[in-house]
Amino acid sequence: MQRDDKHRVRIMITFAKPDNKAAIIMSTSNYPADLIKDIAEGIDMGMIYFLNTDTHEFERVLSESYDSYRDDENSDKEMYDKVESWPNRVRIDPPESWESFKIMEGFIESCIPDGDPAKHRLSEAIARRKPFQNFKSVIDGSPYRQAWFDYKQSRLETFVLNQITPMGEIE
């Protein structure tokens, strides 16, 4: 991709609606869409991914929040040794809680019509203590449940792409 083309892509990404950002980055990325999708699904379940940016091979481990489920402290040593041997690698952690909160806010703002009572219920749910639990409780009983899963998946794919595709490397 030429320098001017990269500049145009950066501008398109900057001003694109959130739903279109992943598609724009994906269309200019060297990474297969199914790889991005799989990593996004994994980080949603609390996995940490290590991606070999040369071969697109990856390894994954449970994040630190799952340490109590590990049988042995050294159970991942072989995997870490393998990852260390990769000259070009990226670590992809699950989003921080504030980033996940922003995804919920974005869904409420952009996907639910202003006059819909669900918008008010969801906004109230995330304003109280335990916002994630409250959001889940409300969204699970709403007609927007599938829209939420689709939106979150799209945001997580964008999250992954932003970590593995530095703007200077868009091809």
- What count of Cα atoms within 13 Å lies in the side-chain half-sphere of residue 155? 20
β-pair type (89-92, 58-62)? unpaired
Q: Tokens in use for 46?
A: 């609390």
Q: What is the pLDDT of residues 38-87, one digit of tens each?
A: 999 999 999 999 999 999 999 999 876 555 555 666 667 888 889 999 99
The predicted structure's pLDDT at residue 138 = 96
CA distances from 76 to 9, 16, 71, 79, 83 (A): 39, 40, 10, 5, 11
* Confidence bin at 170 (pLDDT 50/70/90): very low
Helix (H, G, I), strand (E, B) or coil at 167: helix
Predicted TM-score (pTM) of this structure:
0.77
pLDDT at 165 over 90: no
Higher pLDDT, 165 or 72: 165
Type of residue found at 75 = S
Instruction: Render 152-164 in DSSP notation, one character per residue.
Output: HHHHHHHHHHHHH
Higher pLDDT, 166 or 138: 138
d(CA 110, CA 124): 16
Are 157 and 148 within 8 A, CB to CB?
Answer: no
| 85-112: average pLDDT | 94
| 158-163: average pLDDT | 92
